[in-house]
């Protein structure tokens, strides 16, 4: 599977953080950054010179680890690259494991890599449910003055959600695009999502016909949400999604230097938060709520990716469609082995945080059905 080559989460290491709604609780900032470095073999020198923004929301609640939950499924999760693993059954923690060698525990903030894109989709779904977006067939330019003057002006929102906008060119480098959005190198401290999108002059091909995994579409969702609700996408996620499944806790999300959330990656929550986010979406779908119908629509109208990986042949609303227990189900995935797998037929959610860049080829991805059967 082809993933983004530069992952914005890495820029958290030495960013300049605007005054957040609270300070990092418990986690000494240096320890937090050292943990995040485990995710990559990235050029730290480049990141050190960057001043990337971060939006923070939440409280000072601290989670405690339960050592009793670290045994039953070790054969699947005892991997040197794993940072954390959680299994939920019927909304209860059935299994919980943390990498003690790297001092990971229940209170450690963990990045979701591209799972952040699924969080962005949830925000758009919430705006649909609130009537702020009337139809997914509406054009992005109808809701945003900025997008009205961009190649996205006539692109349907549903095609942006499926990375089938047709705007970005297949195989095109994202290096300059991401550097412009977040402010790398000479642009340090001048990151601008809008300036990055301005690099795209016209659609490469017709919308709805071709899947292309590129950072541009998800950044458009961030602009769209912020112009509709007059709040950053990260804040909208915290207020309308996070607080619906976690009554207390905290969330961090990388942004540009103009206050626009950058949901390419860079979303940080604790392990249980990630697991319960998956459970929340699965429950919404199982009970046919408005948000659940939104993600179901994305699943049922998923586009073909052209990938050979049998678990990544279709892409819904910023989520992958994988066959689980004989039925198509959603999985949220991120580079280096970040995974939220949802099995609605057995009411099970599996969450994994890893830092192995080749983890997407690991057995837990291939053998998810075998694990769920156990």
325 Rama class: left (phi>0) / alpha (psi -120 to 50) / beta: left
Residue 2 lies in a domain: no
- Label residue 14 by pLDDT band (50, 70, 90): very low
Residue 1 lies in a domain: no
Residue 194 pLDDT exceeds 80: yes
Domain coverage including residue 75: 8-373
d(CA 324, CA 335): 21
Residue 140 lies in a domain: yes
> Average pLDDT over the chain, rounded to whole?
82
Token reading at 337: 């082995």
**Span 25-35, average pLDDT:** 38
pLDDT score for 116:
96
**Span 191-198, average pLDDT:** 95
Residue 3 lies in a domain: no
**Which segments of 24-150 are extended strands (E)?**
53-58, 82-89, 92-98, 109-111
Query: In this predicted model, which residue has the larger pLDDT, 359 or 49?
Result: 359
The DSSP element (H or E) to which 268 belongs, if any, is: strand 267-270
d(CA 362, CA 338): 12
d(CA 256, CA 20): 14
For 247-291, what is each residue's pLDDT tens digit?
888 888 889 999 999 999 889 999 999 999 999 999 999 999 999
- Give the count of domains, the chain: 1
Residue 274 lies in a domain: yes
The DSSP element (H or E) to which 180 belongs, if any, is: helix 175-182
What whole-number percentage of the chain has pLDDT above 90?
A: 54
Query: In this predicted model, which residue has the larger pLDDT, 14 or 311?
Result: 311
Residue 9 pLDDT exceeds 70: no
Residue 319 lies in a domain: yes
pLDDT score for 335:
81
For 287-344, what is each residue's pLDDT tens digit?
999 999 999 999 999 999 998 887 889 999 999 998 888 889 999 998 878 899 999 9
Token reading at 324: 């689980």
For 206-239, what is each residue's pLDDT tens digit?
999 899 999 999 999 999 999 999 999 999 999 9
pLDDT score for 27:
37
CA 331, 178, 254, 335 torsion: positive or negative?
Answer: positive
Are the C-beta atoms of residues 65 and 325 closer than 8 Å to each other? no
Please tell me whether residue 49 adopts helix, strand or coil conformation. Answer: coil
CATH number assigned to the domain comprising residue 330: 3.40.710.10
Residue 120 lies in a domain: yes
Token reading at 295: 């993600």
């Amino acid at each position: 599977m082809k993933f983004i080559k530069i992952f914005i989460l890495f820029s958290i290491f030495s960013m300049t953080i605007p005054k957040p709604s609270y300070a990092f609780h418990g986690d000494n900032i240096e320890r937090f950054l050292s943990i995040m470095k485990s995710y990559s073999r990235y050029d730290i020198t480049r990141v050190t010179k960057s001043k990337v923004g971060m939006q923070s929301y939440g409280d000072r609640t601290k989670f405690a680890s339960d050592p009793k939950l670290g045994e039953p499924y070790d054969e699947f999760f005892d991997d040197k690259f794993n940072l954390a693993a959680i299994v939920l059954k019927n909304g209860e923690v059935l299994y919980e494991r943390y990498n003690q060698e790297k001092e990971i525990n229940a209170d450690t903030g963990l990045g979701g890599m591209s799972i952040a894109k699924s969080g962005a989709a949830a925000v758009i779904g919430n705006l649909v449910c609130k009537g702020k977006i009337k139809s997914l067939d509406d054009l992005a330019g109808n809701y945003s003055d900025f997008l009205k003057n961009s190649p996205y002006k006539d692109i349907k929102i549903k095609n942006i959600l499926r990375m089938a906008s047709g705007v970005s060119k297949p195989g095109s480098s994202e290096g300059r695009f991401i550097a412009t959005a977040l402010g790398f190198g000479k642009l340090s401290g001048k990151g601008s999502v809008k300036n990055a999108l301005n690099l795209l002059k016209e659609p490469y091909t017709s919308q709805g016909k071709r899947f292309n995994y590129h950072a541009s579409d998800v950044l458009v969702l961030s602009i769209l949400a912020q112009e509709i609700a007059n709040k950053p996408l990260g804040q909208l996620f915290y207020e309308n999604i996070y607080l619906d499944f976690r009554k207390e806790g905290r969330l961090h999300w990388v942004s540009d230097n103009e206050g626009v959330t950058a949901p390419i990656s860079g979303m940080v929550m604790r392990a249980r938060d990630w697991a319960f986010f998956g459970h929340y979406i699965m429950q919404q779908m199982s009970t046919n709520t408005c948000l659940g119908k939104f993600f179901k629509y994305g699943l049922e109208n998923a586009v073909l990716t052209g990938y050979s990986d049998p678990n990544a042949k279709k892409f819904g609303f910023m989520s992958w469609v994988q066959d689980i227990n004989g039925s198509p189900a959603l999985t949220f995935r991120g580079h280096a082995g970040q995974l939220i797998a949802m099995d609605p037929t057995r009411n099970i959610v599996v969450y994994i945080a890893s830092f192995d860049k080749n983890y997407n080829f690991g057995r837990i991805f291939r053998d998810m059905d075998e694990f769920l059967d156990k």
